[in-house]
């Protein structure tokens, strides 16, 4: 699993962790941002937890896959968490 940000049109890696996923199965990916804190969860398990000030406010979100992967996305959403 890799977490990226874009700058001047280029993709930059924030962090990479080895997080193998089973083939032919649905998985849940969730990324939470709170000020400088970033937390990425795969199937409910935290894989990336870090702080970085390059993502400092509202912006765009997206998903990206390698050209040789077979990937489907369903029920993509983003928003603000309340009560935290």
Residue-wise pLDDT for 43-57, tens only, equals 999 999 999 988 767
Place of tokens 């001047």: 8
Per-residue pLDDT at 83: 56
Domains of the chain: which residue ranges? Answer: 2-20+27-51
Q: What is the pLDDT of residues 19-68, one digit of tens each?
A: 988 989 999 999 988 888 999 999 999 999 999 988 767 777 888 888 88
Instruction: Give just the sign of the alpha carbon dihedral 35, 81, 50, 24.
Output: negative
Q: CA–CA separation, 22 vs 38, rounded Å? A: 24
Q: CA–CA separation, 42 vs 82, rounded Å? A: 21
Per-residue pLDDT at 35: 83
């Amino acid at each position: 699993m890799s977490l990226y940000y874009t700058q001047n049109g280029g993709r930059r890696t924030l962090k990479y962790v080895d997080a193998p996923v089973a083939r032919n199965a649905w998985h849940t990916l969730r990324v939470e941002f709170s000020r400088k804190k970033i937390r990425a969860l795969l199937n409910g398990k935290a894989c990336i937890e870090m702080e970085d000030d390059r993502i400092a406010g509202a912006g765009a979100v997206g998903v990206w896959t390698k050209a040789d992967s077979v990937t489907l996305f369903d029920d993509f959403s983003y928003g603000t968490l309340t009560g935290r």
